[in-house]
Amino acid sequence: MADLRVVVVGAGGVGLSLGGFLLKAGCDVSFIATRRTAEILKKNGFKIDGIFGKMEFRDVDIIDYKEISRPDYVLICAKTTANEQIADNLCRIKNRLSNSKLVVVQNGWGNAEKFLDCFEEEKVFAARIITGFYRKALNEIEITVHVDDMVVGNIFKKEISFQAKDLCEALKEGGFPVRVSLDVDKYLWAKMLYNCALNPLGAVLNVEYGRLAEKPSTRKIMDRIIDEIFDVMDAAKFETFFDTAESYKKEFYSKLIPATAGHKSSMLQDILAGNKTEIDSLNGVIVRLGEKYNVDVSYNRFITHLIQFFD
């Protein structure tokens, strides 16, 4: 049995699921949740079902930041819009985190950097996850789809990525496929491309991803968004698994979209629920990099402004 002590920040679909797998592996897991979720978790625990089977958890340990005490890992599973506040809270208890590793399990690029005030680069890991966690209720998660292993690594010092091996082993022991990778940055950029092209456009037009690829008009928009991201990546020396925008588009239209043609945008859910969207961690990043490196990012800026209208 694994005996890691883990704090999970954010008890949504990702946080509860990863926490659940770790609990199943025997880890000591505590959750930091918003008040409404915390209450229901304390009272009723939580359930996971779907493609990795059924699990139920009672007597869930819900804590506050001030109760954090020298964990092995802190997993950031909240929305990126909460990062500033989470980083503030963690900085206040910095002395109790000196031996902890942080793993940022979030969409977008530039999230890990937000925690460098209280964690050294050696301690900050990032994870890419392309598993569908559908939150049926505040404490009920259905895992609907799993495209690839979760991938964990250190984006600042790639060569020390293996130091997150114990966490990966524990998750695997709990039943969730995970691997360490020296290329987590490349995985994150591949996911950025997919998300930046589809998520905000699907939200603005309120249609499934498949429809966006069917129409020449929206294909042209996505093509240009992807072109601009490759231009920015070239300028900033970021890498992914595709050398050119054209080779990515081939994969995007022939495989990625067909596999998720019925999906609808998560930003649309945020907009409809009146929540702040994650646009600043997605296309907003491209806009800032474009400005920094003097690259034309007009389409990414336009779609960022469109989504910000709702924020």
The residue type at 82: A
82 versus 306: smaller Cβ distance to a second copy:
306
What distance in Å separates the CA atoms of residue 137 and residue 2, rounded to the nearest whole number?
A: 29
158 is catalytic: no
Hey, is 245 helix, strand or coil?
helix
Site for a second copy in 183-202 (CB under 8 A): none
Asked if residue 204 binds a second copy (CB under 8 A), the reply is yes
Max intra-chain CA distance, the chain: 55
What distance in Å separates the CA atoms of residue 302 and residue 182, rounded to the nearest whole number?
A: 34
Instruction: Return left, alpha or beta for 217; rule: phi > 0 is left, psi -120 to 50 is alpha, else beta.
Output: alpha
Stretch that binds a second copy, among 74-82, 189-197, 255-263, 300-308 (CB under 8 A): 300-308
Asked if residue 302 binds a second copy (CB under 8 A), the reply is yes
Backbone angles phi, psi at 225, to 5 degrees: -60, -45
Binder of a second copy out of 63, 205, 236, 261 (CB under 8 A): 205
149 versus 278: smaller Cβ distance to a second copy:
278
Asked if residue 299 binds a second copy (CB under 8 A), the reply is yes
Q: How near is the Cβ of 221 to a second copy at its closest, in Å? A: 5
Q: How far is CA 255 from the centre of its chain?
A: 21
Exactly one of 123, 191, 215, 276 is catalytic; name it.
Answer: 191
Q: Where are the alpha helices (DSSP H) in 66-113?
A: 83-92
Stretch that binds a second copy, among 86-94, 95-103, 182-190, 294-302 (CB under 8 A): 294-302
Hey, is 63 helix, strand or coil?
coil
145 versus 205: smaller Cβ distance to a second copy:
205
Stretch that binds a second copy, among 24-32, 117-125, 191-199, 217-225 (CB under 8 A): 217-225
Asked if residue 309 binds a second copy (CB under 8 A), the reply is yes
Q: Which residue has the tokens 């079902």?
A: 49
H or E, element range at 194? helix 184-205
Q: Which residues bind a second copy (CB under 8 A)?
A: 204-205, 215, 217-218, 220-221, 224, 296, 298-299, 302-306, 308-309, 311
So which residues are the catalytic ones?
191
